[in-house]
Structure 1
Amino acid sequence: MKLPSPGFLLQAFLSAVIRFPAAMLSAFAGVMAMQVIINDYNTPDEWVRTILVALIGVPFFTALIAFAESRDWSESRKWLVQVLGILALIAYGFVLDPTGSGFEYKQLPGYLALVLIAHLFVAVAPYLNNLSVRDFWEYNKILFANIVIGACFTFILNSGLSLAILAVDQLFDLKIDFKVYPRLAIFLAGIFNTAYFLYHFPNSFQFKQKENTIAVVFKNLCKYILIPIVGLYFLILYTYSLKILISWDLPRGWVSSLVIGFSVAGIFTYLLNFYLPELEKAKIIHLFKKWFWWILLPMTLLLFVAIGRRISDYGITEFRFLVAETGVWLALVCLYFIISKTDNIKFIPISLGLFALAYAFGPLSARSVSLRNQVGRLTESLKESGRFENGKMKPGTAAMSEASIEQFSAALSYLDYRKSLDVLDEFLPAPIDSLPIDTPKEFDWKTEKLRTWLNISDSTYTAERNYYFNISSYSRNKPIDIAGYNSFVKADTYERKDKSGENGLLISEDGQHFVRYVITDAGEVTDTIDLKPIISKWMELRNENYYLELKGENQLDTIKIRSGNMLMVTENCSIHIDKDGSKITSWNGYLFMK
């Protein structure tokens, strides 16, 4: 394996652009967006959306061309589907809101499912017809080899060029911006690696059967590395299963991850090994292909028992749903290969893509099922105390059992973290915000309002009345207008309890004031700065979050001191909130004085 020459790189680049224009356009857009973000992290959301869409676009448009070429579509038809695909991705980009509230629960699962499906589409696109399974295997073997080789070339180029830049910088004292290194890595990974892969993308989807260098490498990889590793997983899991039977103790939750990890490694090895028994007489290769699915099937039962225990105890969440759905898919694939006489390995990526769609979209998606389950657990926890009757919640005075309180709190926290408390409105006489109840300013949250309205005792959720609320600056690298101020001090109150030096800043015992002191020959001069208005402003801005990012003018506060006005510029702050109120525990930033 030798590095490609500059002439080859140019040829590969032009060839990739001509054959896969939309895929290369996606790569360009993603790289450009990453370069903008590296230059300034405080960039508009549109650049983040561009990156997210580009990560779908590259595999999606590659698969579209492969699909079109396998059916001998005309050039005009290829351009048409690519233009339609670009319009669809642009529209999807406008729907995405990566900085929106609850993005990781509301939109991220769907996005990740689309990324997975786009890559699976590349694997099967030319073979959604009657082309042979052997050609499908050869095609994916070539794709995998090109991914590995391209990644190696990219790593070598990036390492070599980075070292060259570093050497020039150090020898000639050029003071090159450190950002050049991530910029180079992004460019090589996004443009060079993509162009290399697309240049080597198969031009035909029917292959002559022969043992080539790649097949020999895969044969040795399976025979000496992958199959022994998978065998070790077998040994660990079956030994653990035997321990469960002997001790009659339910499996631990993390065993689900181990089963899934084993399954992924095993299926990957099975696919690589699928036709290798024809090239190799070693028994281990033949035995692995024959018995893999039979050995994997009992492990799916172990997975179901483990995740079933977690769901029974704590209800359904998106992750537990994913584990359970993965178990169903694994069981289905095992049964297919055990029962089927054709062993069509196309079944694996196609079925996985369908399960990914089911996980992320529709009424049976992970989010929909989890929300319904957690709402059911919440309302069920209120029934024994009479706080839920005839399909409606109502205030109550009866005591709740510890188990019911724990179940209620867990379900409520689940809904709160996912910004989905509005699903409870149908069980209430009015939306939570409109419930006729007053709560302390520090706890004027929907969860607090609902608890107070239901008359659930403070002692049932002490932890939620005792937490830290953190603040940081969004634009600490932006210029600040300090006209009229002639001096400043960098103040840091972290763990400052005692006076140190001739002047400084301390936080008062009540956490509501700064104590600014100056020690002179004539004695000590102190100035107390009232922070209550500023704390109130921050509490207004927090919007039911444990974290606040100050932007623009909200980062600046003008406060009165003995000698006039002082400008307070906050960089970081931590506020402790409990049943007695809120107080600052640490603060750092700048103080400008006239």
Structure 2
Amino acid sequence: MKGLSVEKAFHTVTEAFQNCLKRFPVTVAFIFAFTAYLIHLTSISWTGEERLLFITGYYLSVGILLSLTLHLWSEEVKSRMWKTGIQLAAHALLIADAFLLYRYLGTESSWIEIGIAHTAAILTIGLSTFFLSFLREKNDIASWNFALNAVSSFAVTQIIGLILWAGISLLLFSLHQLFDIHFSGKCYAYIYYLCSITLALILFLGLLPQGEDKHNRAPHSSEFLNGIIHYLFLPLTAGYLTVLYMYAARILVSWELPTGWVSWLIVALMTVCIAIQFGLYPARLENNKRFDNWIARWMPVLILPLLLLMTIGIVRRFNDYGITVNRLYLATLNGWFYFVCIGLFAIKARRINWIPISFAIIFLLTSALPVNYAGITKNVILNEIKAEMQRSCQAKAPLSLQQYEEWMYSLPEKQAIRINSKFRYLNSWFGTESVTHLIDRNVTYNLYSVAADTETNAAPAGTDSGKVTYSGAIDSQTNISVPKGYTRFIAIPSDGMSSRFLTIPRQYLENGILPVSLDTRTDNLNDSAYIELSTLEMLEKNSKHGHIPPTSFRCNSPKNLFMLTAFDIHYEKNSDEDIRMSIKGYLFKK
């Protein structure tokens, strides 16, 4: 019996390899090409033109997903010419997109707009893998069974790949320990690529159901899944509903507007609701229990009034703070929630695939078209700034730093803060190029210091009765662009230390500008950066989770510009002790 089991297992693995080669030839080719690409990159230590490396990896990885989706769809199409034409057109579009993306990354334009568009497109391709082959089905059981099988097969094959990689790595490490045979770290990376990418994905493709198994229309409910839904998810949903209805009653009694946090609680509630709909679907069709059918249809009705809280909260944020990309997407998500709740009630939750399909379509339409949310946000904010400049600014654009500061100081404090924050938002989200037709590039490096000067009535962010402390650091994923006109840079500190620690005489607190020695030299002069204390205060005040944006400061040499990436400063208000400070950043040189 044991021999038969081993033989059967070997036969299953062999059959899986042969099956995927016949069924998914283009996908297999992309998998081998992607693996070879990763091995090549590791062998050259990931050096080379960053744009080309990124685009090649993007094309090969997305090609795997796109070809898999097209192969699964083509199995449902009888016309050979039709499915061949669609596949060729889709891959031609992917190649064209890779070339356009390569050229786009060579410019200084912001990646936000094109990045969101590509995220929406890749999400749509990924979801179509589960649904595109089942559009003609009378219900969603076949696609549900296929999706469950695909997800579980992917998880199992990834675990197999990781176990195999760990086992081979342990064997190589043992050879090193026992026989002093050395293997470089790259060898372990090669083994990981072969096991967790090539082998795992080939096995996954071979295990995907086909033919009648692919269109398995028999509902199969899971006792484990039903238990999780009935004894964990449903009580959790009841807790969300109770808290939100109690909050709604409280704000009605006190006649106040909901806070912004309620939107995220409703997003969590709707996420759990949709998960319950998918989890209960096969059990409802198999057992037809009255309670499950009641939950599927009437739970969205119970949630529907709570969506008004989210709507009111979003409208309040728009009125108080204006338009942003995040708020537009959140408002659209709120509208989609109405659509989902009303739709589930109207059709008695008989179909559920339309929920993720509609989400992907809306996300794609609002992100990938020429008129999209990122572009709308940028244009609206720019128009608001231009209208204010026409009304109150006497100088002609683009404004110099002095002209910009004079304009800000001429405005009422709240208006100056609002306009400056709009410039900062555009500069942060859409890049310097989005505002340089209105203000000089030099102004974009000083937006935070201008904000610190205009917010004259703001209390110091890091002060108490005696001690003043400010600190912050950029996020590890932040990209730092080289300012225009600068050709090289030096990391500060340049001696390999984590930060440059220094003491600054207390007398410089009077004018609020701290001369910070950088321990480098330019034209026989010691380099120093002039850091405004008010700017450090503003950076900490506006930091998110301690993260600050890279901030530029002028230097004693006009050929240099210092960009701060981390800082920590301490001093006593009622003391004669000097200022203790640590900094980290980059000194750019012309």
Aligned with residue 154 of structure 2, among 115, 134, 147: 147
SS in 2 for 1:358: helix
Residues 1:268 and 1:495: Cα distance change in structure 2 (over 3 Å): same
Measured in 1, the distance between the counterparts of 2:279 and 2:565 equals 53
| Counterpart residue type for residue 445 of structure 1 | N
Q: Which whole-Å CA distance do the structure 1 matches of 2:479 and 2:282 have between them?
A: 58
Q: Which amino acid aligns with 2:414?
A: A
Deviations 1:359-413 (A, max 9, x none): 2123541112211232244345557646699xx9998868311221111011101
Alignment of 1:91-490 (within 5 A): 91-97=96-102, 101-129=108-136, 131-204=138-211, 207=215, 209-210=217-218, 212=220, 215-280=222-287, 285-340=292-347, 343-379=350-386, 381-382=388-389, 385=392, 399-419=410-430, 431-432=437-438, 445-447=442-444, 459-460=453-454
Deviations 1:157-185 (A, max 9, x none): 44444444444444444443334445444
CA, structure 1 residues 379+461, in 2 after alignment: closer, same or farther (shift >3 Å)?
A: farther
Residue deviations 1:100-132, cap 9 Å, x none? 645541321011101110012112211233554
Indicate how the Cα distance of structure 1 residues 61 and 406 shifts in structure 2: closer, same or farther if over 3 A, else same: same
Which residue of 2 is the match for residue 31 of structure 1? 35
Stretches of structure 2 lacking an aligned partner (at least 5 in a row): 459-470, 483-493, 504-513, 531-548, 553-562, 568-580
What CA distance in whole angstroms lies between the structure 2 residues aligned with 1:183 and 1:254? 46
Separation (CA, whole Å) in 2 of partners of 1:491 and 1:340: 65
The whole-number CA distance in structure 1 between the counterparts of 2:106 and 2:228 is 43
Q: State whether residues 110 and 430 of structure 2, in contact with CA within 8 Å, keep that contact through their aligned partners in structure 1.
A: no
Amino acid at match of 2:63: G
**TM-fit CA distance, 1:33:** 3.6
- Answer whether contact 1:471 1:573 (CA < 8 A) is retained: no
Q: Which runs of 5+ in 1 are unaligned?
A: 426-430, 436-443, 475-488, 499-508, 517-527, 536-544, 549-571, 577-582, 590-594
Distance 1:33-1:244 versus aligned 2 partners, 3 A rule: farther
Tell me if the contact between 1:102 and 1:417 (Cα under 8 Å) persists in the aligned partners: no
Q: Percent identity among equivalent residues?
A: 19
2:93 corresponds to 1:88 = yes
SS for the counterpart of 1:418 is helix
Q: Which SS does the other structure have where 1:202 is aligned?
A: coil
CA–CA separation in structure 1 for the residues paired with 2:584 and 2:447: 31
Question: Relative to 1, partners in 2 of residues 1:496 and 1:221: Cα closer, same or farther, differing over 3 Å?
Answer: closer
Which residue number corresponds to residue 555 of structure 2?
none
Cα contact 1:23–1:58 (8 A) shared by 2? yes
User: Take 2:362 and 2:176, find their aligned partners in 1: how far apart are those partners?
Assistant: 51
Answer whether contact 1:384 1:400 (CA < 8 A) is retained.
Answer: no
Q: How far apart in 2 are the matches of 1:513 and 1:423?
A: 32
Distance in 1 (CA, whole Å) between partners of 2:83 and 2:389 is 59
SS of aligned partner of 2:78: coil
User: In the alignment, which residue of structure 2 is the partner of 1:43?
Assistant: 48
**Partner residue in 1 for 2:64:** 58
Cα deviation digits, residues 475-505 of structure 1 (max 9, x gap)? xxxxxxxxxxxxxx9675944559xxxxxxx
SS at match of 1:279: helix
Tell me how far apart the structure 1 counterparts of residues 40 and 309 of structure 2 sit (CA, whole Å): 48
**What amino acid does structure 1 have at the position aligned with 2:442?**
W
Amino acid at match of 2:429: R
Q: How has the CA–CA distance of structure 1 residues 52 and 401 changed in structure 2, closer, same or farther, with 3 Å as cutoff? A: same
Compared CA separation, residues 199 and 421, structure 1 to 2 (3 A): same
Q: Deviations over 1:124-166 (max 9, x none)?
A: 2112335543433333333333334334434444444444444
For the 8 Å contact 1:244–1:250, the answer to whether it is kept is yes
Q: Does residue 19 of structure 1 match 2:23?
A: yes
Provide the rounded CA distance (Å) in 1 between the counterparts of 2:167 and 2:498: 45
Would you say the 8 A contact 2:420–2:451 is kept in 1? no
Could you tell me which amino acid in structure 2 is paired with residue 82 of structure 1? Q
* Match of residue 544 from structure 2: none
The alpha carbon displacement at 1:19 in A equals 1.1
In 1, the alpha carbon distance for the partners of 2:176 and 2:551 equals: 40
What amino acid sits opposite 1:66 in the alignment? L
Distance 1:314 1:61, change over 3 A: same
Alpha carbons 1:315, 1:373 under 8 Å: kept = no
Q: What are the residue-to-residue correspondences of 1:546-561 with 2, within 5 Å?
A: 546=550
- Distance in 1, matches of 2:352 and 2:586, equals 60
Letter matched to residue 16 of structure 1: C
> TM (normalized to structure 1)?
0.68
Q: Give the distance between the partners of 1:286 and 1:231, measured in 2 at CA.
A: 17
Q: In the alignment, is the contact (CA less than 8 A) between 2:325 and 2:374 conserved in 1?
A: yes
Q: CA deviation at 1:284?
A: 5.3
**For the structure 1 residues 279 and 432, does the alpha-carbon distance in structure 2 shift closer, same or farther, using more than 3 Å as the test?**
closer
| Structure 1 residues 471 and 261: CA distance shift in structure 2, 3 A | closer
Q: How many residues align?
A: 492
The SS at the match of 2:185 is coil
Give the secondary structure class of the aligned counterpart of 1:275.
Answer: helix
Letter of the aligned partner of 1:204 in structure 2? G
Residues 382 and 408, structure 1, Cα contact 8 Å, conserved in 2: no
3-state SS of paired residue (2:210): coil
| Conservation of the 8 A alpha-carbon contact between 1:13 and 1:195 | yes
Separation in 1 of the partners of 2:238 and 2:518?
64
**Offset at residue 532 of structure 1 (A):** 4.7
Aligned with residue 72 of structure 1, among 71, 75, 78: 78
The amino acid across from 1:133 in the alignment is D
Equivalent-residue separation in structure 2 for 1:259 and 1:533 (angstroms): 51
Instruction: Give the partner amino acid of 1:460.
Output: T
**In 2, distance between residues paired with 1:210 and 1:448?**
63
